Chain A
């Protein structure tokens, strides 16, 4: 191969095929518009059908506020727990070989594949009045299902895999050399984790937390089974949306749904913004 062909090949490789490129981008836009944008526009247009005033009345109503508080409470408990779990699970799966690893990974994935209906039902089977611990709980006056603990448990259950799932492929891809090097240079376990592993997995971790948060806020099926639907008490935002919708209050229902969307969007944009900012900082540092 002559050096001329090499250069030509390299140039075309870098530029790519412009037609294919345009087609692919157009395809991505089309998929995005059809699958994501359109359903969201339906939600938003319904929400603002009667103007901004009705929108704010709906989301500032006391029941909506208490639903928002409950949702945030569940998220605030579920996400940190699943974050720690995710890092720990990804660590032992990606850094070591042991028998039963595939089994463990499958178990971590399992909550994804458990129907939300079942995810709620299992807690009723355990902690409901007729459940295995029902009598004991009732004797001690502890209420789990149809109260806030049940909602938190169901939220944790459905979001268990998110952080781990983001980290496992990433950490496997990265391998163990850097950590091994750190150890050889005398770092202890925590130092190695904070200074080598964590910076490497940072983005995967943030992705995982973002997804986990988004899903925890939006969970409907499992929470619906264990909530009891007491207005102003055990309704999360998604359940409040359903209630409003069932009360023919479509505008309010979609307003509260848009509030959820907005919350999710803010988290997603924050993630993007910090990502861009940090990579800029990093490239500046590299240049110096």
Chain B
């Protein structure tokens, strides 16, 4: 695989230029407005807004639930991708087609449906309540909702790469006496890891910002089950635009750093 500069392939200037202009107009300039609005605050005020106990509690909640949701998806997403690529079995095509539905289902509908299922009187919630487990209106419920809305990320990033790894490579390794775990470790893992990390990072980042599906199932109790995007809404409803943008900037910066770190890590894996 060539990973060096390819002077014979044209279009570098055109595609990079177009990419940058498009991103600037639609993403960077609008996000710049968010930063600009925040500059209405002094540093001290900014620190005061983001270090309020409620903001910190929400920060912890949003990031930890998103992390666990991404982790769960990292496992079951890889499982789903593996099964869909490697096996033929009844219903495979249906599962494959429907994996993307969480993207299409409006998040509010997802929230309403999940709450109906997992509330203490709901189909699954009542079963869980029998064994003393409370799902809706707890961080567990939030994690569940986030797992649902971000499910397609890992599956859809891992799946094409997995399909592209020639089966013969694994078979060759196995022929040479490698145990299944060795095959997984030395053949599959290096090839899959970049895609897996991307899927994980995207699921995580999306989970942190998710609003519609979570507010129904979260319970929204200050200090306990209140997520960051809800705090932004709360600030806006008090006409506190700068406070809202300050939290927005905080979320954005943290997500950006995380995504950047994972993209850098991924490049290090790819170019040893």
Contacts and interface: CB of A to CB of B under 8 A. Distances in A.
Direct chain A–B contact by Cβ atoms under 8 Å: yes
Interface of A: 1, 5-6, 9-10, 12-14, 16-17, 20-21, 24-25, 27-29, 31-32, 35-40, 42-43, 81, 84-85, 88-89, 91-92, 95-98, 101-118, 121-123, 125-126, 131-132, 153, 156-157, 160, 165-166, 169-170, 172-177, 179-180, 183-184, 188-189, 192-193, 203-204, 207, 210-211, 214-215, 217-221, 224, 237-238, 241-242, 245, 254, 257, 260-261, 263-265, 268-269, 271-272
A115 B103 contact: no
Contact of A118 (B3, B96, B209): B209
Which of A5, A221, A224: most chain B Cβ within 10 A?
A: A221
B248 interface: yes
Contact of B8 (A17, A102, A184): A184
A35 B80 CA distance: 12
B30 to A, nearest CB: 4
Question: Which of B99, B109, B112, B258 counts the most chain A CB atoms within 10 A?
Answer: B109
B211 interface: yes
A88 B17 CA distance: 9
Contact of B160 (A105, A118, A204): A204
5 contacts: A25-B83, A88-B19, A97-B5, A179-B6, A189-B10
Q: Which 10 A-B pairs have the closest CB atoms?
A: A115-B209, A113-B205, A264-B104, A238-B106, A13-B174, A214-B104, A113-B255, A92-B15, A189-B10, A28-B83
A218 B2 contact: no
B116 interface: yes
A272 B11 CA distance: 32
Contacts of A215: 103-104
A116 B12 CA distance: 32
Given A88-B19, A175-B2, A268-B98, A39 B34 contact: no
A175 B202 contact: no
Nearest to B257: A106
Given A88-B15, A175-B2, A121 B177 contact: no
A9 B177 contact: yes
A89 B36 CA distance: 27
Interface in B1-25: 1-6, 8-12, 14-16, 18-20, 22-23
B196 to A, nearest CB: 10
Interface residues of B, number: 111
Contact of A96 (B5, B95, B97, B259): B5
Given A13-B175, A114-B252, A264-B101, A31 B79 contact: yes
Secondary structure of the A contact surface, majority rule: helix
B177 A32 contact: no
B228 interface: yes
Interface of B: 1-6, 8-12, 14-16, 18-20, 22-23, 26-31, 33-34, 36-37, 76, 79-80, 82-84, 86-87, 89, 91, 93, 95-110, 112-114, 116-117, 123-124, 147-148, 151-152, 156-157, 160-161, 164, 170-171, 174-177, 180, 194-195, 198, 201-202, 205-206, 208-212, 228-229, 232-233, 236, 241, 244-245, 248, 251-252, 255-256, 258-260, 263-264, 267, 270
A260 B116 CA distance: 19
A102 B147 CA distance: 27
Contacts of A115: 208-211, 228-229, 232, 248, 251
A27 B80 CA distance: 8
